[in-house]
Amino acid sequence: MANPFSLEGKVALVTGANTGIGQGIAIALAQAGADIAAAGRSEPTETKAAVEALGRKFLSVKADFSTTEPVQRVVDETVAAFGKVDILVNNAGIIRRADSIEFSEADWDAVIDTNLKVVFFLTQAFAKQALAQGTGAKVINIASLLSFQGGIRVPSYTAAKSGLAGLTKILANEWATKGINVNAIAPGYFDTNNTEALRADADRNASILARIPAGRWGRPEDLGGAAVFLASSAADYVQGVTLPVDGGWLAR
């Protein structure tokens, strides 16, 4: 019997794969057999080395996801290099922190554009390619605990990640019969660049750790199993789900 979790022969496009969560997911998909296209602003040197060490092919695509400019180009370059694309991981994102009473329009627009608007249009371009291929596809959006909760001092981030959970549902509703699965992962508190300010604040760090049943911050590799599952044929009947990977945070 074939391994339903195998990604052999698949091509995965992962945004923001140079560090942190995106890097961890890209490496996990490669371990499961996928070739990787990594799209983002920074050159993913470490990710490239790790993927190629696993015997998988790797493509770096330069892209600034603050606007929709690179959307079609990223898909086209991936297909030009690999002949197809089967999996999309929408990981690239930014965050801005300030009290809501003082939050600026510029910070609002920057986060909504990158974390929600561009994600939609990249997913749209990917889906058009997947439909042309006719072989089925998987979309994995990287949501957040703030897709479920309000948080503090990150109004545009909370709005974007809440919107992304909704977008995951509507795209699943529309595309499930077309062979495209759309799901999301909601990471808990992970040791990444986005949480550096929280981890540097002794009081906030202690209060966060006190609530996580697992007793530690997440590591990027902790998301690998969930990503491989949602990218594989094992999840063919899973649609519109936002799966928390949070060390038990939401259960507390």
List residues with catalytic annotation: 157
How far from 90 is each of 4, 159, 198, CA to CA, in Å?
23, 17, 23
Distance (Å, rounded) from C-alpha 124 to C-alpha 128? 6
Distance (Å, rounded) from C-alpha 47 to C-alpha 23? 6
CB atoms within 10 A of CB 73: 14
Tokens of 205: 């760090």
Q: Where are the alpha helices (DSSP H) in 83-154?
A: 105-112, 118-133
Distance (Å, rounded) from C-alpha 85 to C-alpha 74? 11
DSSP 146: G
DSSP 66: T
Contact 58, 13 (CB under 8 A): no
Residue type, 91: N
Contact 189, 249 (CB under 8 A): yes
Q: Helix axis angle, 118-133 relative to 71-82, nearest 10°?
A: 30
